[in-house]
Amino acid sequence: MSSRRSRSRQSGASRITDDQIIDLVSKLQQLIPELRGRRPDKVSASKVLQETCNYIRSLHREVDGLSDRLSQLLASTDTDSDQAAIIRSLLM
Amino acid sequence: MKRWTTKREHQIYSSKLFQALCRSRRTSSSTSAKELHQTADRVLAITAKGTTRWSRAILAAPLTAGTNMKKHKKAKVTVHTRLRKPVVNREKRKLPVVERKLRALRRLVPGCRKLSCNNLLEETSDYIAALEMQVRALTAITEFLSRGLL
């Protein structure tokens, strides 16, 4: 990537080395489901970082939606202690 | 970070979370989605046993009663992302794209705003794995509760 070359000219100002970024990016790529199959040299660093941010945000949204459903469920049911014990044993 | 994928960890987390939810229901009449999400995050951080920065940051954060603060912050970040130009003039010395996105990532993972690159990688991967488990656990609890109703 020629952007790497232009960044190294200013690396005196930034404390993060290019190698660190490359390392971070290649490892992050393995975590993101969307990018896992792709070859590392075909995905740019900024895309991996963008996808990581998007993935974390989508996980946050998913938990938000689940919390919403669950809080509604909890509000509409009146789980007594017996039922709660059963559910806990199921979870374990 | 492998621990977030084990069945055992999943069981520990979901039963702890369910316990916490039952407890909070006894004290207050209704649990808002926001409080539930907060509880889920706190139990997740506790399950991490203080080994990661993001978990310590969640536990150290004060409990926010209102929704305004958090949503306001999130809105700011979202707008910033949309205004960002997709094509970067490589000659520009200010704020290269990668550094900007690194900063965005740092804001998303709790407690990592000033973290170095290497540690950020560890925190991010642990955080993502934990969030994925959180999703699985919440789904499981919801399923069990809805089955209990039928």
**Domains in chain B: boundaries:** 1-63+117-149
pTM listed for this prediction: 0.75
- The reply to whether CATH 4.10.280 applies to domain A3-91 is yes
Give the distance from residue B104's alpha carbon to the nearest chain A alpha carbon, in angstroms: 7
The predicted complex's ipTM stands at 0.75
Q: Where are the strands (E) in chain B, listed by range?
A: none
A64: which residues sit within 8 A by CB, 6+ positions away? B33, B37
C-alpha dihedral sign at B55, B59, B60, B61: positive
Contact A22, A45 (CB under 8 A): yes
Best mutation site among B47, B71, B102 for testing chain A: the one with the most A CBs within 10 Å?
B102
Nearest to B33 among A6, A27, A64 (CB): A64
Q: What is the pLDDT of residues A24-69, one digit of tens each?
A: 888 888 888 877 777 777 788 888 889 999 999 999 999 999 999 9
Residues of chain B whose pLDDT is less than 70?
A: 1, 64-94, 148-150
